[in-house]
Amino acid sequence: MNKRQLLSMIGAAGGATAMMMAMGQLGQVHASTFKGPIALEGGAKGKKVLILGGGVSGMVSALELSRAGYAVEVLEYQDRVGGRAWTIKGGDTFTELGGATQTCEFAPGNYINPGPWRIPTEHGGLIHYCHQLGVGLEPFQQQNYNAYLHSTDAFGGVPQRYKTIQADYYGHVSELLAKAVRQNALADSVTAEDAELLLESLRSWGALDRNMRYVKSNASASRRGWDKGPGGGLTAVPIPSEPLDVHTVLQSGLWRSIGGNLTNEHQYAIFQPVGGMGSIAAGFERAVGHLIRRNSKVTEIRQSERGVTVNFLDTKTGERLSTSADYCICTIPLSVLAQIPLNVGPTLASAISAVPYRPSVKVGLEFRRRFWEQDEQIYGGITSTNLPISQISYPSYGYGSQGPGVLLGAYTGGSISYELTAQSPAERVRRVVEWGKQIHPQYSTEFMNGVAVGWHRVPWTLGCFGIWTEESRAAHYDNLCQLDGRFMIAGEHASYIGGWIEGAVTSALDAVTRLHQHVQQAA
Amino acid sequence: MNKRQLLSMIGAAGGATAMMMAMGQLGQVHASTFKGPIALEGGAKGKKVLILGGGVSGMVSALELSRAGYAVEVLEYQDRVGGRAWTIKGGDTFTELGGATQTCEFAPGNYINPGPWRIPTEHGGLIHYCHQLGVGLEPFQQQNYNAYLHSTDAFGGVPQRYKTIQADYYGHVSELLAKAVRQNALADSVTAEDAELLLESLRSWGALDRNMRYVKSNASASRRGWDKGPGGGLTAVPIPSEPLDVHTVLQSGLWRSIGGNLTNEHQYAIFQPVGGMGSIAAGFERAVGHLIRRNSKVTEIRQSERGVTVNFLDTKTGERLSTSADYCICTIPLSVLAQIPLNVGPTLASAISAVPYRPSVKVGLEFRRRFWEQDEQIYGGITSTNLPISQISYPSYGYGSQGPGVLLGAYTGGSISYELTAQSPAERVRRVVEWGKQIHPQYSTEFMNGVAVGWHRVPWTLGCFGIWTEESRAAHYDNLCQLDGRFMIAGEHASYIGGWIEGAVTSALDAVTRLHQHVQQAA
């Protein structure tokens, strides 16, 4: 099995978080090289840059190059800027490959981010632009101890609270390690002095009793939850709950979802833009929208020693048009770019064809009320499950509001994504509702409507994001990023932060910096 | 050493979180008995209830009793309702015992909550009233992996990122336990089949390599932080960081701050009211403000077989006044109530005198800019330290704003609280700034102004909250909560959720329910 197959299998089995974890271990790692705003000094030497794609990497490029004095023109396929920084609201319509069109019926104020949906505080480049462009940020609840861990193979399919599984896993790990330390089994790894500190730390961290046992107690209940919580007056005395035994915790497999919340990207605090990811698109649009030509489908890219010429189709008027510039920064996803005639050298051509794109389906569901808050005290956060939906994410906005609410009902990876998109959007939504009922029976009575975005059927990206392996990185990554004549690639696919907007931002900053250096040297 | 002394010592050494943890272990535990709105049925039988104290417990009592048809009158000592649900903003003035008056100079939009400052989602009673009274809730960042753990005794006083210590502690715990498992040291505790699962879980949770070692790798760096983060284009390749060894992690003692974030009250998600805790007071005021007489200092409480009469001083006019009712619910803190003449039975009288109040100082500091966000990528959350300030908490609102910012510069417990309040407010602030410089050198240039609230010198509460021990609970708690003739106690001090507003809410709900039952039976 190669790494891509492994990733695909992990994605199908463990959901997006497990996939992200595995990607970390296999070489797709995330944080950022962003160190502060760039300043391209020395002037533009009268040059024009044509940018293909009005997503975040294209707009970062346009913003920084225009600030440095370059003439800039951006061609965007859609009637909307932002690319995958996309929010779907009530009234929005979109059409997938094959022609199926969905119109969102969400109530005002509700939305779903079908693409990226959260901003780690590690991602300083994107946060810098959000601050600069007036895009409000609010916390995204990644980890919610009141949300569920669910497996059809554990606890008879009954969801367990995240805090319960975590507390019991930590409790048993600490009890077991304490036992080994006291048996002197680790004397060659830990000095006697350190062993005392280790035992003290395990008691504190694992909520052990004074005999270093993880037992039913107020201390363990204050983490895993109570049989009866404490209160006031004469109904106040709390009743602790009974912990699960170590065998049950381990066999449940539900501990699989804990590690993913410890990575940089999923640590607290992380952000979301107020109003959805589309607010990022709108922020950039305020700055560079006047440079962007929409409804422009690129059909051919030709470079010569003197410049770059791009042919494109105006998808509204049907006109075939052409434009040219001294240089081109191309942010079109490789899955699409590989199908466009383009004269570049053989190493870049190979690189463009070397990166497959991840299939994925995200489904937004609207319900008559926020039953997850009202009935189950879940405010934001994510429930993980081994069902094909892989997770349910609750909205991190509008807490406590009384009207209809929207949650993310599915975020699939792997083969189930293809299976779902073989069906109509309505049927996908119906199946996701059926699966979700196993976790939230309220789906039966509260469901109103939904939208289902199959990313591999989105015409302008043909997949969620590019998937690199260690092998493909070694063979193709540098070639993909090099300036080829007058043509340069940028985008999340030209980064080590694949699948995150920060990859698009840092890739664009690297590309414009190198292009500018080239212009300075050539002048 | 008795438990109170122990708690005090822990409070002084470990800060509020350690204190809360220890309280959990000693019998002060938190969550809630709240199960949904109460409905007092059967009518009020023409009775009037006099409520002493216009804090949250008093206002919950007023709201529910007036809804049930009772005549309700509330006496409040201050010119403001809400009690400890209190927000200090620019222009606010307050005077402590001894006469020192402070006027807050914060810029518009900035504030500090000198009392309670966060709302666990476990606290369903308070959240219910927030929703019902239109009090907006937003996330409070308790745990921020970018914030610091600091000790003057570790790393030469250099603060460490929370994520670094946690990742390394988890990594070493998992490596050590894996080693013990592989040596068969735990064969009598874990079956061979479970041991395989345990090893798999430790690899995932601890970010171990395939040899079950916690080493420098992309996996460990994606939790503890990078030497150079990943990026885009040709500057993209990340460089992992070197983990600390197990000896260094254990000897640092910084692991002490991790366990406290695992308890129900400090788990994600937790809330704060938009605009500060004063928004809760304002929400209740909209509902029951017309029932509250402000500036009314209770001087004597007398009950007879026919009713209750309360003498009070109008602190604005100097008038001595009196009012009476069929019943009285008294929410005055026990520290104050114990000094007011009151005829109740001996068991209640003993109980009122049995609960000491916690000393504490909270200091809000305003700086010219949010250097913690701009320089250090800390958005909300808490830095823990063994310095007397015990913690620094960064604002969970206004992320990215450019003007002056306010943080909580100190939250002391124990004897340092008395030491600080022996000095003028200005001197307290000066010392807190000096201590904080050890963690954030920017204090030197960015500090503008501050306020310092010493809770044991706040005239209307004389301490932070009541401290119960197992012994005092056993001897006095039920006696404190019983209806004594026509007089009943409510407030956080009459709950098992001491120090949290939820204790006040559930205590009030229990009190009004029992009082109403009594009225029904007496009728």
* CATH number, domain containing residue B75: 3.50.50.60
CB atoms < 10 A from the CB of A333, how many? 24
- pLDDT score for B10: 42
Claim to verify: residue A350 and residue A373 sit in the same structural domain: no
Is B231 within the bounds of a domain?
A: yes
Nearest to B490 among A144, A233, A507 (CB): A233
Percent of chain B with pLDDT over 90: 86
Q: B292 with B62: CB under 8 angstroms?
A: yes
Domain with B314, as residue range(s), is 37-81+290-356+471-522
The answer to whether the CB atoms of A264 and B223 lie below 8 A apart is: yes
Say how far apart CA A489 and CA A471 lie, in whole Å. Answer: 20
Is B420 within the bounds of a domain?
A: no
B222, B252, B282 - which closes a domain: B252
B377 contacts in chain A (CB < 8 Å): 121-122, 124
Is B73 within the bounds of a domain?
A: yes
- pLDDT score for B2: 43
- pLDDT score for B7: 41
What is the total count of domains within chain B? 2
The answer to whether the CB atoms of B478 and A179 lie below 8 A apart is: no
Claim to verify: residue A516 and residue A446 sit in the same structural domain: no
- pLDDT score for B491: 98
Nearest one of A447, A425, A268 to A372, comparing CA atoms: A447
Task: Give the SS3 label for residue B297.
Answer: strand
- pLDDT score for A122: 86
Nearest to B24 among A222, A236, A495 (CB): A222
| Residue B116 tokens, joined | 């309670």
Say how far apart CA B25 and CA A222 lie, in whole Å. Answer: 9
Say how far apart CA A130 and CA A136 lie, in whole Å. Answer: 7
Is B130 within the bounds of a domain?
A: no
Write out the H or E segment, with its range, that includes residue A204. helix A192-206
Distances (CA, A) of A162 to A144, A146, A159, A165, A249: 7, 6, 9, 6, 12
Burial track B337-350 (b if 16+ CB lie within 10 A, e otherwise): beebebebeeebee
At residue A25, what is the residue type? Q
A122 contacts in chain B (CB < 8 Å): 229, 377
| Residue B412 tokens, joined | 């002391």
CATH number, domain containing residue B210: 1.20.1440.240
Cα B351 to chain center, whole Å? 24
Claim to verify: residue A474 and residue A351 sit in the same structural domain: yes
Is A257 within the bounds of a domain?
A: no
Is B413 within the bounds of a domain?
A: no
B186 contacts in chain A (CB < 8 Å): 176, 179-180, 185
Nearest-Å Rg of the Cα atoms of chain A is 26
| Pairing verdict, β A382-385 and A148-150 | parallel
- Which among B250, B257, B507 is the top mutation candidate for probing chain A, defined by the most A β-carbons within 10 Å of its own β-carbon? B250
Nearest one of A240, A237, A204 to A222, comparing CA atoms: A240
Nearest to A122 among B181, B229, B247 (CB): B229
Say how far apart CA B470 and CA B464 lie, in whole Å. Answer: 19
B478 contacts in chain A (CB < 8 Å): 234
The answer to whether the CB atoms of B232 and A191 lie below 8 A apart is: no
Claim to verify: residue A363 and residue A351 sit in the same structural domain: no
Nearest to A267 among B163, B170, B258 (CB): B163
Per-chain mean pLDDT for chain B: 92
Claim to verify: residue B329 and residue B180 sit in the same structural domain: no
pLDDT less than 70: residues of chain A: 1-32, 266-269
φ and ψ of A421, to 5 deg: -80, -5
- pLDDT score for A220: 95
CATH number, domain containing residue A372: 3.90.660.10
Is B126 within the bounds of a domain?
A: no
Claim to verify: residue A364 and residue A451 sit in the same structural domain: yes
Say how far apart CA A360 and CA A465 lie, in whole Å. Answer: 9
Claim to verify: residue B345 and residue B478 sit in the same structural domain: yes
Burial track B113-130 (b if 16+ CB lie within 10 A, e otherwise): bbbbbbbbbbbbbbbbbb
CB atoms < 10 A from the CB of A26, how many? 19
Claim to verify: residue A474 and residue A348 sit in the same structural domain: yes
A411, A430, A455 - which closes a domain: A455
| Residue B151 tokens, joined | 């000790």
Write out the H or E segment, with its range, that includes residue A145. none
* 3-state per-residue secondary structure call for B21-42: HHHHHHCCCCCCCCCCCCCCCC
Q: What is the pTM of this model?
A: 0.90
- A216-240 pLDDT, tens digit each: 999 999 999 999 999 999 989 999 9
For residue B197, give how far its alpha carbon lies from the nearest alpha carbon of chain A (Å): 6
Claim to verify: residue A202 and residue A344 sit in the same structural domain: no
Is A481 within the bounds of a domain?
A: yes
The answer to whether the CB atoms of B177 and A179 lie below 8 A apart is: no
Q: Max alpha carbon distance in chain A (Å)?
A: 86
Q: B207 with A22: CB under 8 angstroms?
A: no
Nearest to A25 among B181, B219, B253 (CB): B219
- Which among A256, A496, A500, A515 is the top mutation candidate for probing chain B, defined by the most B β-carbons within 10 Å of its own β-carbon? A496
Say how far apart CA A95 and CA B159 lie, in whole Å. Answer: 52
- pLDDT score for B31: 53
Say how far apart CA B513 and CA B523 lie, in whole Å. Answer: 15
A495 contacts in chain B (CB < 8 Å): 230-233, 236
pLDDT less than 50: residues of chain B: 1-30
Claim to verify: residue B227 and residue B309 sit in the same structural domain: no
φ and ψ of A42, to 5 deg: 110, -5
Claim to verify: residue A141 and residue A172 sit in the same structural domain: no
- Which among B10, B29, B329 is the top mutation candidate for probing chain A, defined by the most A β-carbons within 10 Å of its own β-carbon? B29
Contacts of A252 (CB under 8 A, 6+ apart): A151, A154, A155, A160, A165, A244
- B221-268 pLDDT, tens digit each: 999 999 999 999 998 999 999 999 999 999 999 998 887 777 777 666
- B374-407 pLDDT, tens digit each: 999 999 999 999 999 999 999 999 999 999 999 9
- Which among A213, A227, A250, A468 is the top mutation candidate for probing chain B, defined by the most B β-carbons within 10 Å of its own β-carbon? A250
- pLDDT score for B267: 65
The answer to whether the CB atoms of A505 and B232 lie below 8 A apart is: yes
Complex ipTM over 0.95:
no
Claim to verify: residue A98 and residue A142 sit in the same structural domain: yes
3-state helix, strand, coil in chain A (%, to 5): 40, 20, 40
Say how far apart CA B206 and CA B181 lie, in whole Å. Answer: 15
